[in-house]
Amino acid sequence: MQLNVKLVGTLGRFLPAGSTGNKTQIEVDDSISIANLIELMNLPADKPYMVSVNDVLVPASQRQSFSVTESDNIKIIPPLKGG
């Protein structure tokens, strides 16, 4: 199945070549989880990312079991720092 993935901010450097606007479409197995997608995108596993699917926040506790479907829009946001 194909997913639309947006990596926000500095995470854009992990997108495949040819991606524009920090977005890409990727082909994945039907059974992929959000946790597997983070691994597939080669994102550092030890970061507390915010993840949304179709603009609905997916809690970290559900990322291993959360099911995605064809053409879902997934946004991964890096940890935010403030002052």
pLDDT for 82: 64
Selection from 34, 45, 38 nearest residue 67 by Cα? 34
**Residue 63 predicted with pLDDT over 80:** yes
Is residue 60 assigned to a domain? yes
Domain count of the chain?
1
Is residue 47 assigned to a domain? yes
Is residue 83 assigned to a domain? no
Is residue 82 assigned to a domain? no
Is residue 61 assigned to a domain? yes
State which residues form the domain around 48: 2-77
pTM of the predicted model, to two decimals? 0.89
Selection from 30, 31, 37 nearest residue 52 by Cα? 37
pLDDT for 79: 84
pLDDT in tens, 22-62: 999 999 999 899 999 999 999 988 889 999 999 999 999 99
Q: Is residue 74 within 8 Å of residue 37, measured between CB atoms?
A: yes
Least confident of 45-54, 58-67, 74-83: 74-83
